[in-house]
A and B are shown apart, each in its own frame.
Chain A
Amino acid sequence: MSAPPIISVRGVTNRFGQQVVHDAVDLDVRPGEVLGIVGGSGSGKSVLLRTMLGLHRPNAGEVRIQDKDITRMSDSELLAVKRNYGVTFQHGALFSSLSVAENIQLPIREYFAASESALEALTELRLRMVGLPVEAGAKLPSQLSGGMVKRAALARALALDPTLLFLDEPTAGLDPISAASFDDLVSYLHRSLKLTVVMITHDLDTLIATCNRVAVLVDRKIVVDTLEAIMNHPHPWIREYFHGPRARAAQTAVDGR
């Protein structure tokens, strides 16, 4: 508990025209935890993620990653921070003209002078880590199934040995079996590599299976707590989210496991 937060969001305000998306929100991500971010459509989950990634500059407030304020950084300083985290995007965002292996190698090639054999070795490890066979490296993203695209995207996010991983809707669009197996993968990598994971998800099963704490975006603010505490939160939207008909079904299913 006493360890300083790896990311600390302070007083971040985001506005688009007249519409205020975040009103002075605070959020701490502790090292080694899996933090789930949930919220209704349009509540600004992706904007918050993009703010933490340094892809979007907030109208006010600061975001500190490893105690450096990324909102006031020059591009070159930001680059050094970006090297420490990996990101997967909602639809994979694999480069469609490159094979899976080339996708994984791209960031490594960009930063380091590694030989071809070392690149191949690193690619092989990344593929096996995420449960893909080595032959999948030769495929183009369009030749992969949805679950494999998510895994390949995760392999690319892990290319530079990050300590921090951002996942944007990692299980969206997957069948329940693939989604559960992806949840297992995230938990497994989190445990084995001591990763800190921040994920946006709509999937209650994922939330229950993987997350230590949950941040809920409601009314332009954030409520953060452990899953148990959040589930008993009095806010009507949060109650609806965790105790609505679909949530109950998911809950019973998880309890029954």
Chain B
Amino acid sequence: MLLEAKRTDDALVLHLKGAWRIDNIASIEEALRALPQTSEPRVTVHFDQLDYIDLSGAWLLHRWLGQSGGQVELKGDPPQHFDFIEDVLHQQPKESVEPPEGRLSLHEALIWIGRNSVAWLRRIQQTVSYLGRVAVNAVGALGSVHRLRVPSIARHIYETGIQAIPIVSLIAFLISVIVAYLGAQQLQQFGAEIFTVDLVSIAVLREMAPLLTAIIVAGRSGSAFAAEIGVMRLNDEIDALQSMGVNHFEVLVLPRLLGLVVALPLLTVIADAMGLAGGALLSSVLLDISLAQFLPRMQDALAPTTFWAGIVKTPVFALVIALVGTYRGLQVRESSRELGRLTTVAVVQSIFLVIFADAIFAVVFVELDF
């Protein structure tokens, strides 16, 4: 019980009791809410039975008294916090902020549509100009060993390529085992188990290995590119580079791009090998197709172009992943929240664009009969 209310002829008399501190904030609210809601001509507050009141308690009481609209009389020893609150309320803010945007209206809606359209156009323009700057810098850098930053490229080949070998191998192996297993079950119904070899080798070399590798690398390295560059942006490191006259495209974007363009095809070759190994293993264990039968059958099934049809796509995937990752990283401004959001965007977009590019390649290859 924090409050006792009595009504005399012309006034509401409040006796405060116990501890009015932030710990009891729920009880304080409840006690104030239980008071009559009608406006009172006079309110008398007695503080003599009060044990303790802190600033929060005093503030809630002060607000209620202000809202009651009556003439307030304080009896006993009013808390000093009241003076402080009065003082604070009479101060002008020391700092100012822009007022928040107005309420929704047709006018606001039109402005919103206009702003967003312009923002969209600007985003397209930014993307195109980013591609352009990367291209110009790449042409410039390829002409000179110093500007190519070979040590940096080597580091990125190591980080995005060599360190990814275990996970890429494992996934390529498992996926091809799964495809071979499901394919064999269907083909057995026609007594055509031997075609499992064709299925696995063509599927792995043409589609599975390049696509899966690209998706894994997008998740691993695309996010790393965006996060690394984003953190540098937040730490003003990119401004520092620019102030020294160092071209950040040359030292940050191009090494990642070129490193990945080298690493991804190589990783795909490893994924091809592991995928074929997985298919061969499953065939020998489950279908009694020994390695001696598997290899010649595979050679018959594969056209000379099959391997290249897979590999030729991977530099394009690498470009997409590196461009999206670095672009999103450079977009980070202001806060760590942006960093998380843009890293996610980088991964999602690069995976989408990789699959989209793969679809275009599929159509083109069919038309070319490649």
Contacts and interface: CB of A to CB of B under 8 A. Distances in A.
Interface of A: 96-97, 108, 111-115, 118, 121-122, 125, 128-129, 131-133, 135-136, 138-145, 147-148, 151, 160-161, 181, 185, 192-193
A115 B60 CA distance: 12
Contacts of A96: 335-337
A97 B94 contact: no
B35 to A, nearest CB: 15
Interface in B58-110: 59-60, 63, 80-81, 83-85, 87-89, 91, 93-97, 99-100
Contact of B94 (A111, A131, A141, A143): A131
B55 A142 contact: no
A151 B96 CA distance: 12
B96 A133 contact: yes
Contacts of B94: 131-132, 151, 181, 185
B367 interface: no
Contact of B335 (A113, A138, A141): A141
A131 B95 CA distance: 7
- Chain B interface size, as a band, is 20 to 34
The 8 closest A-B pairs by CB, nearest first: A131-B94, A133-B93, A142-B334, A142-B335, A96-B335, A97-B337, A192-B84, A161-B54
B99 A135 contact: yes
30 contacts: A97-B335, A108-B25, A112-B22, A112-B23, A112-B26, A118-B25, A122-B59, A125-B59, A125-B85, A128-B88, A128-B89, A128-B93, A131-B94, A132-B94, A133-B93, A133-B97, A135-B97, A135-B99, A135-B100, A136-B97, A138-B100, A151-B94, A160-B22, A161-B55, A161-B56, A181-B94, A192-B80, A192-B83, A192-B84, A193-B81
Interface in B16-60: 21-23, 25-26, 29, 54-56, 59-60
Contact of A193 (B22, B55, B63): B55
Contacts of B81: 193
Given A112-B26, A133-B96, A128 B21 contact: no
A121 B80 CA distance: 19
A105 B141 CA distance: 52
Nearest to A160: B22
Contacts, number: 87
Contacts of A139: 97
A192 B56 contact: no
A145 to B, nearest CB: 7
B93 A132 contact: yes
Contacts of B83: 192
A114 B29 contact: yes
Contacts of B91: 128, 131
B95 A122 contact: no
Highest count of chain A CB atoms <10 Å: which of B22, B29, B337: B22
Nearest to B30: A115
Nearest to B59: A125
Contacts of B88: 125, 128-129
B55 A115 contact: no
B95 A114 contact: no
Contacts of A141: 335
B95 A145 contact: yes
A41 B83 CA distance: 41
B186 to A, nearest CB: 50
Contacts of B334: 142
A125 B60 CA distance: 10
Given A131-B91, A142-B335, A151-B95, 17 more contacts: A108-B25, A118-B25, A118-B29, A118-B60, A122-B60, A125-B59, A128-B91, A129-B88, A132-B93, A133-B93, A133-B95, A133-B96, A135-B100, A147-B95, A181-B94, A192-B83, A193-B55
Given A121-B60, A131-B93, A132-B93, A161 B337 contact: no
A82 B335 CA distance: 28
Given A96-B337, A118-B29, A125-B59, A192 B96 contact: no
B236 to A, nearest CB: 13
A187 B29 CA distance: 31
